[in-house]
Amino acid sequence: MYAYTGKILHVDMGSRTTSVQQVDADYLKKYIGGVGLATRLAWENVKPGCDPLGPDNALCFACSAFAGTTFPVGTKHGVASKSPLTGLIGDSLSGSHFSEELRRAGWDGLVFKGRAPEWVIVFIDDDEVTFIDASPYLGMGCVETQIAIREKLGDENVRVTSIGPAGENLVRYAMMDNDGRQIGRTGNGAVMGSKRIKAIAMRGSQPIRVADIDGVLQETHKLIERSKGPGTLKYRSLGTPANVLSMQKLGVLPTRNFSETVFEHAEKVSGEYMAEHYTVKKVGCSGCSIGCEQWALVKEGKYKGAIAGVDYEPLFALGPNCGIGEMPAIIRLVQACDDLGMDAMSGGVVVSWAMECYERGVLTKEDLDGIEPHFGNDEAALALLEKIAHRQGIGDLLAEGVKRASAKVGQGSEHFAMHSKGLELPGYDVRSLKTFAMGLAVGTRGACHNRSLAYELDVKGVVDRFTVDHERGRLAKEKEDFACILDCMVICKFLRNCFDAFEEDVARIYTLVTGIPMTAEEIAAVGERVCNLKKAFNIREGWKKADDWLPGRALEDPVPSGPAKGAVITAEELRMEIDDYYAARGWTPEGLIPKAKLIELGLDDVAEAIGVEPEAAPQPALSAEEAR
């Protein structure tokens, strides 16, 4: 076995003890790495039914199979735990250089359990683990912490993943940051904070050996050359902010808390405008051949000096969705979320929800500590983000996310609390993206575009985005499985259009790197296996069929204007799509997984734990012809 180390490091924060788990090639081949391996480690180590912010939750890391090699964009790492935001699987991915360092320190994965009595920095120096007093670093922003720790350890090759004030204060959507890239969604930063880990510092000195070095160099060079072509042009030129005008044109750009789908100031917050006036640098993660990170700098005005890597999702959430149409304000708000250590997507949607509450009189100026967050008020948005990160005043309520906050506030605010399973929605209005709408509703980590990928079907016109049919369940399942393979390998999604025959190419390179035999069929099975494992985790945590759903606004309020005017996805349409999706997955009509399905996927122990008996097996899905 090459590249892999076959070792998982377990750290008990309560007793400050460590242990080493050996894993073999069969095990690694089933879950690969990234989200797959991290989810498997979470399945094994999270105590069922535990408090996500208690000592029985486990924070699990896993490398990419290709970490530290010339495989382009193949060096993300995955993190999984029980999410404090959703109470279900919280799997997340991040770029940067952490995955390589973890592998070079000799580990395929890391598991943190328990809770430290005092705040610490965990320093993993190859196989030596030390705990450093974190009190000098408390309250520091994410990147500031990383720089300070590298200085303290006297080695700039040390890679650090850290939390900011939001993680320390257990904001349910707190994130972890490494070199300006984030484990962003589902609140893994709060889980890290609950264990009183301010940062994990990592230094590895071991080389990464692959099975066939010449073969790896040849194949990866080919991929790098290809990634200079049209398949990645969007990401290399404007980056993801190119989406602003694309989404505006389709009438799916979430505006003012998803109430509208076109934004009057879209031009001024577009990727094109940003590139011309604000972008000063493009940055890539380790091994990245694309460099999608668009670093934007404010050169004048009240936010002079603000600088942030601006992606579409934070841009939509803190810009149009908060009614904010000025790029300098958006850059400052993204920077605030990154420094404070909170998911800018959830943060933005929480602020937009508070803005709508204020405009409707559901929350008053008094409720909001004197802040008046009408839509478009960037100073109010910034003030709210600060309060959230420190759980001060109204920030304590908003730090809970829109699901919990709206349940507490009531007065109809649940209708426009834009989340699924507690995870705030991404930047695509689903009322005229009907395949994607279902993809978000059934997502195991809640409403996530990256896990679903079904928006591609709607946006690219593979299907009619304004209608539904019985094909959508199967199509969404296939997209989700494909996304999952990328998340396990890990291969950045921005490389997805650069393969000839995806499964064949990936299987061949995986074998050249690891020496483990792999076929295209086996690669394909990984996606389905891990999707089922994530669902199984959720079932074990008490998932209910009603959790697979969308907020009232998406189902009842027709789009008021623009190219998608009048569009709405009805409860009947969504129900039908979800039923078809369950059938396509081979699940029961109740969305449970038959034992036989899990055994077929090689998940025997999971079948034993949560599989249902065959009498509940589903009816075969209608074929496309029958459906017509």
* Residue 321 to residues 317, 349, 503, 538, 543, Cα–Cα distance (Å): 5, 7, 38, 30, 30
Nearer to other proteins, 338 or 547 (CB): 338
Q: What is the 3-state secondary structure (H, E, C) of 428-491?
A: CCHHHCHHHHHHHHHCCCCCCHHHHCCHHHHHCCCCCCCCCCCCHHHHHHHHHHHHHHHHHHCC
**Site membership for other proteins, residue 283 (CB under 8 A):** yes
In the complex, the smallest distance separating the C-beta of residue 215 from other proteins, rounded to whole angstroms, is: 11
Q: How near is the Cβ of 322 to other proteins at its closest, in Å? A: 24
Q: How far are the Cα atoms of 232, 484, 492, 579 from residue 457, in angstroms, in the given order?
A: 18, 17, 19, 19
Q: Which is nearer to other proteins, 68 or 591 (CB)?
A: 68
Q: Transcribe 371-410 into DSSP letters.
A: ----TT-HHHHHHHHHHHHHT-THHHHHTTHHHHHHHHH-
- For the segment 126-145, give every residue that binds other proteins (CB under 8 A): 143
Shortest reach from residue 217's CB to other proteins, in Å: 6
| Best CA proximity match to 243, nearest among 256, 231, 232, 252 | 252
496 binding other proteins? (CB under 8 A): no
What are residue 365's DSSP bridge partners?
none
The single-letter DSSP state of residue 132 is E
CB of 385 to other proteins, least distance (A): 19
- Cα separation, 628 vs 617, in Å, equals 24
Q: Is 200 within 8 Å of 111 (Cβ atoms)?
A: no
Instruction: By CB under 8 A, tell whether 97 contacts other proteins.
Output: yes
Decide whether 96 or 406 has the Cβ nearer to other proteins. 96
Asked if the peptide bond before residue 490 counts as cis, ω within 30 degrees of 0, the response is yes
CA distances 254 to 248, 266, 336, 431, Å, are 9, 11, 21, 11
User: Do residues 178 and 146 make contact, with C-beta atoms less than 8 angstroms apart?
Assistant: yes
- 297 to 326: interface string for other proteins, x by CB under 8 A: ----------x-x-----------------
Measure the CA–CA gap between 271 and 284, rounded to whole angstroms: 18
Question: Is residue 69 within the footprint of other proteins (CB under 8 A)?
Answer: yes
Least gap, CB of 7 to other proteins (angstroms): 18
Give me the 462-481 binding string for other proteins, x by CB under 8 A, dash otherwise: --------------------
Dihedral (CA of 115, 120, 121, 122) sign: negative
Closest alpha carbon to 107 in 62, 155, 69? 62
Regarding 224 and contact with other proteins (CB under 8 A), the answer is yes
Q: Determine if 84 is a binding residue for other proteins (CB under 8 A).
A: no
Strands ordered across the beta sheet of 128-133: 128-133, 120-125, 197-203, 159-162, 176-178, 181-183
Part in contact with other proteins (CB under 8 A); list of ranges 270-278, 279-287, 378-386, 450-458: 279-287
Q: Is 221 in the site for other proteins (CB under 8 A)?
A: yes
Residue 106 or residue 393: which is nearer to other proteins going by CB? 106
Exposed, middle or buried by CB within 10 Å (0-12, 13-18, 19+), for 605? exposed
Minimum distance, C-beta of residue 224 to other proteins, in the bound complex (Å)? 5
| Residues binding other proteins: number (CB under 8 A) | 42
Question: Where are any strands of DSSP class E within 284-343?
Answer: 293-297, 307-309
Stretch of 29-37, 269-277, 282-290, 617-625 lying at the interface with other proteins (CB under 8 A): 282-290
Based on CB atoms, which residue is closest to other proteins, 95 or 443?
95
Site string for other proteins, 360-399 (x = CB under 8 A): ----------------------------------------
Among 35, 290, 491, 550, binds other proteins (CB under 8 A): 290
Burial of 215 (0-12, 13-18, 19+ CB in 10 A): middle
Smallest Cα–Cα separation from 352: which of 407, 402, 315, 395? 402
Judged by CB under 8 A, does residue 277 bind other proteins? no
Min dist. Cβ of residue 283 to other proteins (A): 5
Q: Which of these segments, 280-288, 311-319, 465-473, 581-589, binds other proteins (CB under 8 A)?
A: 280-288
Query: Which tokens sit at 233?
Result: 């042009």
Q: Is 233 a binder of other proteins (CB under 8 A)?
A: no
Spatial contact of 204 and 101, defined as CB atoms under 8 Å apart: yes
The CA angle 548-318-172, to the nearest 5 degrees, is 50
Residue 153 touches other proteins, criterion: CB under 8 A: no
142 contacts: CB under 8 Å, gap ≥ 6: 162, 163, 164, 176, 177, 338, 339, 341
Shortest separation between residue 290's beta carbon and other proteins, angstroms: 7
Nearest to other proteins of 342, 492 (CB atom)? 492
Our CB check for other proteins shows the closer of 249 and 281 to be 281
User: Does the footprint of other proteins cover residue 70 (CB under 8 A)?
Assistant: yes
Closest of 368, 269, 363 to residue 316, by C-alpha: 269
Of the two residues 280 and 407, which places its CB atom closer to other proteins in the complex? 280
Among 33, 52, 72, 527, binds other proteins (CB under 8 A): 72
Report the site for other proteins in 194-213 (rule: CB under 8 A).
205-210, 213
- Binding flag, residue 217, other proteins (CB under 8 A): yes
**Of the ranges 219-227, 383-391, 546-554, 586-594, which one interacts with other proteins (CB under 8 A)?**
219-227
DSSP type of residue 260:
B
Judged by CB under 8 A, the residue of 228, 265, 268, 474 near other proteins is 228
Instruction: Report in angstroms how near the CB of residue 358 gets to other proteins at its nearest.
Output: 33
Given the complex with other proteins, which of 276 and 521 has the nearer CB atom? 276
Short-list 28, 34, 13, 14, CA closest to 99? 34
Residue 40 CB, shortest distance to other proteins, in Å, is 25
Cβ 286 to other proteins shortest distance, Å: 5
How far apart (Å, rounded) are the C-alpha atoms in residues 80 and 425? 20
CB closer to other proteins out of 224 and 523: 224
Which residue lies nearer to other proteins by CB, 147 or 520?
147
Q: Which residues bind other proteins (CB under 8 A)?
A: 68-70, 72, 97, 100, 104, 143, 146-147, 157, 179-180, 205-210, 213, 216-217, 221, 224, 227-228, 280-291, 293, 295, 307, 309
